[in-house]
Amino acid sequence: MKNEMITLKHGDVSIKMPSSALARMAIASVFAQVLPPAANVQPVAPSTIPEIGQQWPGQGGLNGGFVHARGEVPAHYLIIAAKDVGDHEWGGRGVEVKGLSKTDGYTNTQVLIGNDDERKYPAADACAEYQADGHHDFYLPAAAELYQGWLNCPEVFAQDCYYWTSSQRSAYFAFGMTFDDGLQDVIVKFSELRGRPVRRFVI
């Protein structure tokens, strides 16, 4: 049986459609107005980003705050390991390592542990070996990254010692930092300072 066609007109516009299609549209419109929302409609999910300094489930540590994109480093959250990796020398005393910066700890660490003898740089090696929640991409933070930790959540670090950064000052010195006052200083590379791994959660 041939479906009856109906023409709808409004001003200069006209639409021709089967009567059965028009009936279905009318019924759906009525139901949409009188029935409650469908049970399978998902509500807007609450934010899953924890407070600064709090554990970030599945990310291997604490939320150290948002970091804007810089150069080739994409925007990300800095994840701070929940614990230190002990006291280590920076290493490489008398060697000025090329390609290190004050902002990119990941690249710094890759340069340091990529040397022929990775044990020459114990602090970077210890951080690179750290694993948590299945993540194995931790590194020794650069001076700027460790400073962000002090700005955002200094209480998660020990207050009575220096921490190494992966930023170098010269052949004999590298940058270290304290968390009781945020002081960054140059320290001889054979000193044994604390290490705290970090990683990036790229968004």
Give percent above pLDDT 70 in the chain: 75
> What are the tens digits of pLDDT across the range 51-89?
999 999 999 999 999 999 999 999 999 999 999 999 999
* Same domain as 106, residue 178: yes
* Same domain as 82, residue 9: no
| Residue found under tokens 């009567």 | 19
Model pLDDT, residue 115: 73
* Same domain as 19, residue 81: no
Mean per-residue pLDDT over the chain, rounded:
86
Model pLDDT, residue 109: 97
Examine the pLDDT at 101 and tell me if it is beyond 80.
Answer: yes
Q: Which of 55, 102, 111 is nearest to 79 (CA)?
A: 55
Model pLDDT, residue 29: 56
Asked if residues 140 and 174 have their Cβ atoms less than 8 Å apart, the reply is: no
Look at residue 43 and tell me if it is in a domain: no
Record the pTM. Answer: 0.76
> What are the tens digits of pLDDT across the range 2-46?
556 666 565 665 555 566 655 565 555 544 455 454 444 344 344
Look at residue 124 and tell me if it is in a domain: yes
Phi, psi of 110 (to 5 degrees): -60, -40
Rounded to 10 degrees, what is the CA torsion of 98, 103, 106, 108? 20
Which structural domain range is residue 23 located in?
5-34
